[in-house]
Amino acid sequence: MEYDVVIGIEIHCELKTKSKMFSSSPVSFGQTANSCVNEIDLGHPGTMPCVNKGAVEQAIKACTALHLEIDPVLKFDRKNYYYADLPKGFQITQQFYPIGKNGYIEIETSKGKKKVRINRIHMEEDTAKQFHLNDGTLIDFNRAGTPLIEIVSEPDMTNGEEAAAYVEALRQTLYYLGVSDVKMEEGSMRCDVNISLMPKGATEYGVKNEIKNLNSISNVQKAIDFEISRQSKILDEGGIIEQATRRFDEATKSTILMRLKEGNVDYKFFPEPNIVPIRLENAWIKQIQDSLPELPEARKNRYAVEYGLSAYDINVLIANKELSEFYEEIMKTCKNAKLACNWTITELQAWLSKNNITLQECKAKPQDIAEMVNMIENGIISGKQAKEVFEDVMKGSSPSKIVEEKGLKQVSDTSLIEALIKETLDEQPQSIEDYRNGKDRAVGFLVGQVMKKSKGQANPAMTNQMIVEELNKRIK
């Protein structure tokens, strides 16, 4: 039987702030367990929450970039949740009045662009982190109280590819905004996927299963693809899908049952009594919105128009904000956008990977790479010579100084190249005969011989053209 697949995604994203959502404790990652907490995080009696203005500002940026309507009245609710990772026995969230609602984001799929609606964005505090051992559970409260936004999509996705594209589009947008590190491997961005199947053409949704805490975009797609297959098989065999929470196992590339659900949990939400409603000034909201940086979609369009790059090149650059900004610095003094792009996304990234360092750690300056690319463009050095120059540029040296010291300047003197060509042809009569018989590879061989004689300094393109001209004279 054919099925329609219905997918909705909830994304929890930690906001990039110095302190927590309702306390002055520092936000940190990788610090000593329970070293970044205070009385509010630990739920001590008599402590009062205080809203983090910076977190609200970050949430407004996210809402604006994702086209959501912003509620100018900030209200919080209490979610009663008695569990070890919430010491005070409840979570402060925004159940009834989210800061933003009714937005969307456009994603790129193999079938073209698609708009995925966003139901809401609400603010809340994160829980503590638990470490389950064989003989007990350890809790680190450093994460407790970290500011979060939860982004809830509408069930607009129909396969793993679309879901992965949606998560990647959100990740890029939030990253460019600077509202979050969006490091899924560190837990600063976490995905819960809801998926259900229904007979083709049906209007009533099937029973959903939730896949919790997916920690990479590739795992989002793999988990969904597996779950579609699993649920399809059960339905084809006449079985019933039970509402459940599952997790993705990377080793087996499958989803594993965590627990069954018998309906929605009643968290007994009610307005948070310790935080009065806060009216946000329209001028303040507008000031935040007017200061948004350039977003990925706008940058993609600009690269296509301003630099004439291909969709592939643009996507590679945009996927890495630091790399994109490095390329922009190169282009401030570089003439050839495509050539600069090739060196940036291929040679530069390969060198960083080979040497196991980040772009921020390398000593190369964008203007030096621009100078090197201009040297290639102007025929001062060849592409082959540039590879040798590039190695030293990546160590912090100046291209012009490298070319001067190593004698790498490309020879474009036609009289000198002509003399080398005639000398080579006189030594290689068989190559002339091969060319006469239509064997074009003879030209490449002769170019190589001239390059040897010039110690690699002859202009390859000019040499190739002049050899062909000389050969045509000799075979007449």
Give the pLDDT score at 419: 79
pLDDT tens digits along 417-475: 777 788 888 888 888 877 887 777 888 888 888 778 776 777 777 778 888 887 887 77
Indicate if 52 and 117 belong to the same structural domain.
yes
pLDDT tens digits along 167-183: 999 999 999 999 999 99
The reply to whether 82 falls in a domain is yes
Phi, psi of 97 (to 5 degrees): -130, 80
pLDDT tens digits along 284-323: 999 999 999 999 999 999 999 999 999 999 999 999 999 9
The reply to whether 290 falls in a domain is no
Give the pLDDT score at 218: 93
Indicate if 63 and 163 belong to the same structural domain.
yes
Tell me which residue of 288, 226, 362, 249 sits closest to 99, measured CA to CA: 288
Structure tokens at 422: 């005639």
Average pLDDT for 63-91: 94
The reply to whether 289 falls in a domain is no
Tell me which residue of 142, 115, 155, 159 sits closest to 31, measured CA to CA: 142
Indicate if 467 and 368 belong to the same structural domain.
no
The reply to whether 181 falls in a domain is yes
Indicate if 163 and 271 belong to the same structural domain.
yes
pLDDT tens digits along 338-361: 999 999 999 999 999 999 999 999
pLDDT tens digits along 31-45: 999 999 999 999 999
Indicate if 82 and 104 belong to the same structural domain.
yes
Which residue, 374, 406, 438, sits at the end of a domain? Answer: 406
Average pLDDT for 91-119: 96
Indicate if 104 and 129 belong to the same structural domain.
yes
Tell me which residue of 249, 223, 258 sits closest to 231, measured CA to CA: 223
Indicate if 330 and 449 belong to the same structural domain.
no
Indicate if 360 and 460 belong to the same structural domain.
no
The reply to whether 216 falls in a domain is yes
Give the pLDDT score at 408: 64
Indicate if 160 and 306 belong to the same structural domain.
no
Indicate if 461 and 377 belong to the same structural domain.
no
The reply to whether 390 falls in a domain is yes
The reply to whether 89 falls in a domain is yes
Q: How confident is the model at residue 2 (pLDDT cuts 50, 70, 90)?
A: very high
Q: How many domains would you assign to the chain? A: 3
Indicate if 122 and 208 belong to the same structural domain.
yes
Indicate if 354 and 399 belong to the same structural domain.
yes
Range of the domain at 212: 3-283
Which residue, 356, 383, 406, sits at the end of a domain? Answer: 406
Mean pLDDT, the chain, rounded, equals 91
Looking up residue 429, the CATH number of its domain turns out to be 1.10.10.410
The reply to whether 288 falls in a domain is no
